Amino acid sequence: MLRVLCDAGFTPGEALLNLLVATDYVGGAVLEEQAGRDRDDDGLERLEGAPSASGLLGRAVAEVPGSDEAFEYGLGLLIDGMRARLAARGTATGPRPSPSTGRPAPADPA
C-alpha cells in the first residue's frame, strides 16, 4: 500500500502518514463496534425530543446515518482529502506541501 500511495504522488513520509491516519480511523471504528456502540443507539434519539431539537439541531440529528454509513462517510472524507492534496499539486514541479501543515516546504538550499 505504501508503494501505491507513493506511485500516486505522495512522498514516502506522506504515504506512511496517510496509512497511519486511515489505520487509526478504521481501528477506532472497530473499537467502537466492539464496545457495542452504535450511532443508532448512542443518545441521538434523546436529542430528538429536546426543546432545542426543533430547529437546526433537530434537522441535523435526523440526518445522522447509522454506523456503517457514518463509517463510509468518514473514510470517504479521508480519501477525498488525500485526492485533494494530490490535485492541489497538479503536475507542477516544485516543493511538495509539508504533511504537517499542508503548505509547501522550504526549498533545499543545495
Q: Is 100 part of any domain?
A: no
Q: Is 84 part of any domain?
A: yes
The pLDDT tens digits for 59-91 are 888 888 888 999 999 999 999 999 999 999 874
The pLDDT tens digits for 24-70 are 999 999 998 888 865 455 555 555 566 566 688 878 888 888 889 99
pLDDT band at residue 100 using 50, 70 and 90 as cut-offs:
low
Q: pTM of the full predicted structure?
A: 0.64
Residue 19 in grid coordinates:
496509512
The range of the structural domain enclosing residue 57 comes to: 2-88
Residue 25 in grid coordinates:
480511523
* List of long-range contacts for 33-38, beta carbons under 8 Å, 24+ apart: 33/67, 38/66, 38/67
For the chain, the domain total comes to: 1
Q: Is 103 part of any domain?
A: no
- Give the span between the Cα atoms of 100 and 94, in whole angstroms: 18
Q: Is 102 part of any domain?
A: no
Round to the nearest angstrom and report the end-to-end CA distance of the chain: 31
Distances (CA, A) of 31 to 36, 41, 73, 75: 9, 16, 18, 16
Q: Is 104 part of any domain?
A: no
